[in-house]
Structure 1
Amino acid sequence: MEIFAIIMGSMGGVSAVLTGLFAYFGNLRLEKYKSELQLANAKIKSLTDTSSHISKTQFDKEFTIYQEIWVLLVDLRSKTLTLRPVMDSVDPNESEDDRIQRRLKDFGESFNAFRNGIENNKPFYAHAVYEALNNVFGLCYEECVDYQYKSPGWSKEYWEKSRENNKNIIKAIEQCCEKIRERIESLAVVE
C-alpha cells in the first residue's frame, strides 16, 4: 500500500508540473493567436476604412477652396433669386428694360465669378462636389434664360416657373452643402 501511495503521490506531482507546463505553453500559443487576429483585424479595418488619408497641406488647400466657392455660391444664389423676386420694389425712375439689364449685369458678374471658381479649382477638390456645383450652375443659367427671354407681360405661368426654379436652385445648393460636408468628414489628416 505504501508503494501505491508513493506512486500516486509522484503522479500527482508530475501531474501538477505537466498541468503547469501545458497551461504555460497553451497561454503562449493563445497570446500569439490573439496578436495574429488583432493584426488581421487591423488590416481588414484599413481596407474598409472609408476615409481618405491626406496631408494637412492638402486638407487645408481643399478646405480653402470650399470656403471660397461657398462665398461665390451664396452670392450667386442671391443674384439669381433677385432676378424675379416675389416681393419687388422698383425705382419709378428706372425703366423695366433698365431694371432687367441691371439685374442681368449683377447676375452675370456673380455667375462668371462662380464659374471661374469651380472651373479653376476643379482638379483640387472632390469630383462629387464639382458635379453638385455644376448642377447649381446649370439651374442658375436656366433661370437667367427664363428671365431674360420671357414673353411680354407677367403671366401666372411665368411666376410658377420662377417659383419652381427657385425651389430647385435652393435644393441643389443644399445638396452642394451636404456634398462638401461629406467630403470634409471623409478626410483623415495624416501628420
Structure 2
Amino acid sequence: MSKREEIIQLADSLIKQKGYNAFSFYEISDKVGIKTASIHYHFPTKSDLGVAVIELYIANLNGLNESLRRKSPIEKLDKFFSIYSNIQKEKKVCLIGSLATDFNTLDCKVQDKLKEFTALMLDWVSGFLVDGRNENFFVFEGEPRNKALVIISNMLAIVQLTRLTNDNNFEVVKTAIKNDLLRK
C-alpha cells in the first residue's frame, strides 16, 4: 500500500471513529510515521483528503454494484446489510452518517462529493428494490426511492444507536427490514 493509500485509509477510519472535524493531519502523520508536510504533498488541504476518502467509497460501490450485477435482489440486500454489519462490528459509524453530522462545517467540495456518494447509494438500493418488487421477491408500498430512504436511514441510525445500547438491536432492525420486504 502506498503512503497516499495509507493516509486515505487512516483518514477514513478516523472519520468513522470520531468524525471529520475531530482529526488532524498531525494525528495522521503521527500514526503513519511521516511529517505533516508529506501529507500536504498528497493532499494540500483537509478537504482534498476528505474528497479522496469519498472517491474511494464511490469507486468501491461502483465495483460492488458491477460484481453483483447478476445476483438476485435478496443477495444485493444481504450485501447491503453486510456493509453495515461490518461497520457495526468495528464500533464505528458509516461514512455518510459521520459526514452528514459535520455537513454544515464541510468545504463545498466535500459536501458535493458526499451528495454524489449518497445519491449513488440511494440509486443502488432503489435499483435492487425495484428489481426485487418486479421479480416478486419484495413487497412494499410506495416509491422504491422512498423505501430506500427508510432502509438506509434505519441502518445509519441503528449503527449509531448500538454504540449506546450495546445489545442485539442491530440484528433486530436488520431482520425487521428484511422480514418487512419479504412479508414474513
TM bucket (normalised to shorter chain) is: 0.3 to 0.5
Higher normalized strand content (fraction of residues): 1
Structure 1 length as normaliser, TM-score?
Answer: 0.33
Task: For CA contacts below 8 A with separation 6 or more, give which structure has more relative contact order.
Answer: 1
Larger Rg: 1
